[in-house]
Structure 1
């Protein structure tokens, strides 16, 4: 087993199979949580893969951990490229600020590049951390709070099919079989590996009161669902209803989404529906007779890291505009650094003088269309040699529909 020595004297290497539980407990400790019980570990062990679980070591003592699992990402134009989901990142509190996280991130990204994975992605609990490793906010979503007592759908909102609660033992087989058909419907969606289903569904089904209502088409196929956790009111008032926390909301089209919203706001004895990380263009307010039944808060959703810049730029579709030469600076993965001519017809590596220069974090921010290059240039995030290139870059990276990930991990 190879390892990398860090400047601080820490060492980095893959975690052995028989040490994965200790790695998980280290992560929990970083969150100030107690170690996993045998029952909890029996679920979580399926989310761990030994050669994708890295550790920072002080001698033989593991002091940091970072995990990835395989997946994919749908990019503008519909291509689906390999992507790693990064999770369970933590460092012991007595080893912070000693280079453990930087060493793990570097080694992990080098490993993902060697695997041929074009992207890495994560959901950041502390957003100030990951920009220096080349991760940028690539999708924006809304957390929605809906008052079901006021949330009556307008009569013209269409619907079709039926909604049924699934039994626990049918949830993962049914949803994992239905999900791939949804991937082409929006840029930003990610493929869900067995590790993702263990991490996000098996754990909740076994340890929480977690329900899944699936939408069936007229042909009897699942084409959408909501996974949610009911929570009883903490109020002493016996008339207070529950809150439904929606953690997974998938729909093949707007009609399916309409039916799922109709189901959620129609559940009895509920005072509030909280739907996390809905697409920025979810039209729920316009669906309701009383638009003020909804309150929403916008936030960054998926943090993306472009691991293979040439492959990523070549794969996505671009809008109609004059070509722009962009220089990417990526000291963390130097093979990505270079100049790329981006046009309606694709992207290629060139030696021409760049019109725009950006780092890896900013490239991730514009790649899925969440941020316009002209806006980022206006706040100093992009260096501009040719101001005339900015309107063209805006059109090249523009998308018809906001990118959205929709998968918590």
Structure 2
């Protein structure tokens, strides 16, 4: 028997659950002024609260958007944007109850996938999420770094005013489109918290836009971080990239060229970039670009395994039968044929067996079946099927989310 109830929150409980989430994540209590700016981005829809009487002790929030999957399709997804439990009520089943309620709701609404960024990666595997896309942190030294002469130089880059940055970038992001597996749509509620407060009149970030022959096709959002110290009084500032989006390699190269041209800067630091972004290869001396870290960029959970597998495409090779186990949503447990003609449930004997969180790791193409089998995450029943699964699930471009939420 529990001493709390889990239910959808009401409009009147939005502020208290937002404050609770902030405290759970160790941020300051939101002021009335801040709530006036961002409150509309915290609607009651799809937010489950755990309550002890009338007092919230936990919250699990999501919003509906879209995700690009291998093959170019864009499908609906639940983006889990806030999970927290009050510090004095942790390890009492509150989180488990919240996640179960949230997943049941996503499944009932017919949404095939759920995604999140994990503040504590060890938590979410038991709820069926797998690390589905990785991102790298790259640091490029200035002024030593020089772009190679063959790197395209085309178009123009202009800096926006704070008001222009708030007004123009949402439309430009939509124009750029979800062109890489793992990229997410950014609904209206996303922008006030994740973008406007950083780039608007009260923010500190700078926005620059690239324009090519067909108009605006890329943008970068960055902040300037002081890097001087007593030991290095002449060290320049560091440009810290928050968001860099481009419709193609020419726009991407132009934005990097712009960043590396800013005076009085000692380095450009960018976190959560695509692992295959060729920044080092764009330089005359690749050693001036260092990959400092590779970390999880997106966690993915197939909520409806048949629909999720059917939404993406596969490369041309013989099919594989997967035995999937899902302890939280047992309706997903079963066998699935996956091949170049699509995916469907089957009664055929399985070639490979895996839990649903491992399927989440495999789904966007970040991890190979070979690597997951060698790690013990996939049970191999037909050794020849591993190579076929590698070919089926692989993608040309590494998956990447690129959206903080």
- Indicate whether the TM-score tops 0.5: yes
Which position in structure 2 is the counterpart of 1:4? none
Which position in structure 1 is the counterpart of 2:305? 309
RMSD, aligned CA:
1.4
**Partner of residue 270 from structure 1, selected from 258, 265, 270:** 265
User: Which 10-residue stretch deviates more, 180-189 or 315-324?
Assistant: 180-189
Following superposition, the deviation at residue 238 of structure 1 comes to 5.0
| CA shift digits 1:166-218 (9 cap, x unpaired) | 12222233222122233342111111111221221022234430111111112
Which position in structure 2 is the counterpart of 1:256? 251
Alpha carbons of structure 1 residues 33 and 185: separation in structure 2 relative to 1, 3 Å: closer
For the pair 1:170 / 2:164, whether they are aligned, the reply is yes
Decide whether the 8 Å contact of 1:183 with 1:190 is kept in 2: no
User: Which 10-residue stretch deviates more, 10-19 or 253-262?
Assistant: 10-19
User: Which 10-residue stretch deviates more, 206-215 or 392-401?
Assistant: 206-215
Unaligned runs of 5+ in 1: 1-6
Decide whether the 8 Å contact of 2:318 with 2:339 is kept in 1: yes
**Partner of residue 35 from structure 1, selected from 25, 29, 34:** 29
Cα distance in 1 between the residues matched to 2:332 and 2:166? 38
For the pair 1:53 / 2:47, whether they are aligned, the reply is yes
Tell me the SS of whatever aligns to 1:42: helix
For the pair 1:383 / 2:379, whether they are aligned, the reply is yes
Which position in structure 1 is the counterpart of 2:315? 319
4+ long deviations beyond 3 Å: none
What is the TM-score when the length of structure 1 is the normalising length?
0.95
| CA shift digits 1:41-96 (9 cap, x unpaired) | 22221221102221111222210112111211101100100012111211111000
Which position in structure 1 is the counterpart of 2:336? 340
Following superposition, the deviation at residue 386 of structure 1 comes to 1.3
Following superposition, the deviation at residue 357 of structure 1 comes to 1.1
Which position in structure 1 is the counterpart of 2:290? 295
Tell me the SS of whatever aligns to 1:153: coil
Decide whether the 8 Å contact of 1:247 with 1:408 is kept in 2: no
Tell me the SS of whatever aligns to 1:244: strand
Following superposition, the deviation at residue 271 of structure 1 comes to 1.4
Following superposition, the deviation at residue 325 of structure 1 comes to 0.7
Cα distance in 2 between the residues matched to 1:347 and 1:65? 35
Cα distance in 1 between the residues matched to 2:334 and 2:348? 10
What is the TM-score when the length of structure 2 is the normalising length?
0.96
For the pair 1:242 / 2:260, whether they are aligned, the reply is no
Which position in structure 1 is the counterpart of 2:126? 132
Cα distance in 2 between the residues matched to 1:46 and 1:239? 44
Which position in structure 2 is the counterpart of 1:217? 212
Which position in structure 2 is the counterpart of 1:153? 147
Cα distance in 1 between the residues matched to 2:216 and 2:372? 41
Decide whether the 8 Å contact of 2:324 with 2:353 is kept in 1: yes
Decide whether the 8 Å contact of 1:328 with 1:359 is kept in 2: yes
Decide whether the 8 Å contact of 1:74 with 1:183 is kept in 2: no
Following superposition, the deviation at residue 228 of structure 1 comes to 0.9
Cα distance in 2 between the residues matched to 1:356 and 1:392? 11
User: Which 10-residue stretch deviates more, 291-300 or 170-179?
Assistant: 170-179
Following superposition, the deviation at residue 356 of structure 1 comes to 0.9
Cα distance in 1 between the residues matched to 2:223 and 2:123? 30
Following superposition, the deviation at residue 114 of structure 1 comes to 2.2
Which position in structure 2 is the counterpart of 1:3? none
Residue correspondence of structure 1 range 362-377 to structure 2 within 5 A: 362-377=358-373
Tell me the SS of whatever aligns to 2:361: helix
Cα distance in 2 between the residues matched to 1:182 and 1:363? 29
Following superposition, the deviation at residue 277 of structure 1 comes to 0.8
Which position in structure 2 is the counterpart of 1:123? 117
**Partner of residue 102 from structure 1, selected from 96, 101, 106:** 96
Tell me the SS of whatever aligns to 2:121: coil
User: Which 10-residue stretch deviates more, 111-120 or 307-316?
Assistant: 111-120
Cα distance in 2 between the residues matched to 1:177 and 1:299? 29
Aligned length: 402
Following superposition, the deviation at residue 157 of structure 1 comes to 0.8
Following superposition, the deviation at residue 320 of structure 1 comes to 1.5
